[in-house]
Structure 1
């Protein structure tokens, strides 16, 4: 029997169909449980997609500033309506942080758990509102996003949480929710909102920080260093060694690296050479592409190849632990600065008919194409596949309500042993008697 809608023979399921069934049964799961699993990780599709996303973004954000133009009040990169809706998720998270700031009589752990419980609820409902399309990957994207703000069991924050946000960003492009034109805004707007919120979370709740002892950068979020150096690799108004100069620091609203330097000096109360010696030493090299290369090696070694980090990561369909196809596919590299200009000019000469725009970002990662039923990892909004009618019978309304609730339940596949996997109900307020609270207080 052949399904015209799905395009495969359900009596003889293909590999893709079997994999989709596994995803429906298991949802996002941890895959790195031993050091041997790191070999599988570096050959996986998720590893290749993560490298490709970071490096394509690094190339795209060169020469762009984070702040608006003072005259036009516009950014110098495109900002889609979809991107604005995603950024609004952080407006609600900021409000929750203000609402649950610890009082003198409260303990930081209790306040942090309360914020995390509210955040779990907020993420899924706001993702629905932000995406507004027939997307069956909301469960997976929501799982990545809500693991980006720390660990509710160990009550700490580390590079593994930042990696989950990278998975979230990469998954948005893989699912086709964000497009090539959103590449710059995803880094300089959406990721920037994430970093600012994380800094406030760590300071507000006094979260312990998990760091890889082998990292030459003493910080819990390392990607801002990488993208900060990439941003300055074209048309930089200052050299790496000028970062601490007062007249340069006035541009911190424009450049991610200057924000980092200012944050380190302010939070650790000292000069950069005293509070972040490794970074200060790295900024002594002549050019920003050289700084980027040093930071890139450190990021791959101490984040993307760290067992301590990867054992906390979860994988599913968009960010798959399956081997990359084709096997042996070469990893992407970020060509920056003069090297980028040279390659761009060479491509223009070789293909004069297709004049590439220097400032137009290319897609940061390949689009994921699925053959799977829409309800496996999410749901279809009724408006997406059937017209609305002005009147409905009570029986039809009840049937639609039950069907919607079933789809909502499919979104969240619960692992009862994982306290981060609290059951999600879209229209229910969190209170102390809910299962969300009980899950959040259980051990791993």
Structure 2
């Protein structure tokens, strides 16, 4: 592992750069990482996560600290717009200011020189302060941050289940808090034809959790099941959040997820969402154009 860390830079500046991105080592590593995380939680409920490693506990503390800043920067009540409460900019500025120090507290001393490179991914993971929006590209930045922690040897393969069902779940819940409180605009929403205005991976990972269970995809929209099992399955938690945020019949405002509920088996759902993530997130210029690349995730060809 190189110790020559660098501040990551944007490389996908034009749609013509997409071919380089799809051939890069970063792309193949991210795709493999996401698929491996999905496989690791097949048939696993949130409560099945055993004791956490000290490294995972450290990330849990970091995310909890970031969540505490919401109280420090309450929403600006003079803002009358439906989206984009400007107090989010203060929350994001706090993250930017604290990120490197938080990472030095998280990492062992011999990895402190990686803090600056890692901070770029962490800061980009919760939304854009200028546009006051959030979308699957920000979610992808968090995945890249986790992958960098794995490449540093900070997180181990044995942490995989906890990475999804503890760390990623806590991240999603924090992001939903930010979306709810600061009214973040959906970044690059496909409207009714998108999977979800904000997130993608809770549904991909969440569908893997259901593989081998007696629960059918059709039951995933059942309010009774969501009330009983919503805390155990990322997929149900995602449906619950959408239902809180949107009004009207589910099939009208979330057509893709409604159609998915008609697929007979979770294996097929999981497989389809994996392909969709590859095409609609990793394969779309508007989503990946803001990604940055450094020494840990390289834009050079695989």
TM-score, with normalisation over the residues of structure 2? 0.91
In 2, Cα distance between the equivalents of 1:145 and 1:205?
19
Q: CA deviation at 1:206?
A: 1.6
**Helix, strand or coil at the partner of 1:319:** coil
Contact 1:65 1:254 in 2 (8 A): yes
Show the 5 A alignment for 1:217-296. 217-234=195-212, 236-249=213-226, 250-296=228-274
In 2, Cα distance between the equivalents of 1:194 and 1:60?
18
Contact 1:101 1:111 in 2 (8 A): yes
1:115 corresponds to: 91
Q: CA deviation at 1:87?
A: 0.8
Contact 2:49 2:162 in 1 (8 A): no
Contact 2:86 2:132 in 1 (8 A): no
Q: CA deviation at 1:109?
A: 4.4
In 2, Cα distance between the equivalents of 1:53 and 1:154?
29
Q: CA deviation at 1:157?
A: 1.5
**Helix, strand or coil at the partner of 2:134:** coil
In 2, Cα distance between the equivalents of 1:99 and 1:237?
44
Show the 5 A alignment for 1:84-99. 84-99=57-72
Contact 1:265 1:271 in 2 (8 A): no
Structure showing greater radius of gyration is 1
Contact 1:226 1:295 in 2 (8 A): yes
Structure 1 regions of 5+ residues with no counterpart?
1-5, 7-15, 68-74, 325-444
Contact 2:35 2:274 in 1 (8 A): no
Q: CA deviation at 1:48?
A: 0.6
In 1, Cα distance between the equivalents of 2:51 and 2:217?
28
Show the 5 A alignment for 1:46-125. 46-67=26-47, 75-105=48-78, 109-125=85-101
Q: CA deviation at 1:299?
A: 1.2
**Helix, strand or coil at the partner of 1:176:** coil
Q: Deviations over 1:198-254 (max 9, x none)?
A: 1111121122111253964132211111111111113x1411111123442211111
**Does 1:44 find its partner at 2:17?**
no
In 2, Cα distance between the equivalents of 1:253 and 1:283?
19
In 1, Cα distance between the equivalents of 2:189 and 2:87?
27
**Does 1:164 find its partner at 2:145?**
no
Q: CA deviation at 1:167?
A: 0.4
- Number of residue pairs matched by the alignment: 296
Structure 2 regions of 5+ residues with no counterpart?
none
Q: Deviations over 1:165-202 (max 9, x none)?
A: 11001111111110011111111111111111111111
Contact 1:78 1:185 in 2 (8 A): no
> In the superposition, relative to structure 1, how do residues 91 and 145 fare at CA in structure 2: closer, same or farther (>3 Å)?
same
Q: CA deviation at 1:133?
A: 3.6
Q: CA deviation at 1:106?
A: 6.2
Contact 2:75 2:85 in 1 (8 A): no
Greater share of helix residues, 1 or 2?
2
> In the superposition, relative to structure 1, how do residues 285 and 53 fare at CA in structure 2: closer, same or farther (>3 Å)?
same
1:134 corresponds to: 110
**Helix, strand or coil at the partner of 2:52:** coil
In 1, Cα distance between the equivalents of 2:186 and 2:295?
29
Contact 1:35 1:307 in 2 (8 A): yes
Moved more, 126-135 or 47-56: 126-135
**Helix, strand or coil at the partner of 2:203:** helix
In 2, Cα distance between the equivalents of 1:220 and 1:111?
19
TM-score, with normalisation over the residues of structure 1? 0.63
1:321 corresponds to: 299
1:372 corresponds to: none
1:301 corresponds to: 279
In 2, Cα distance between the equivalents of 1:213 and 1:106?
26
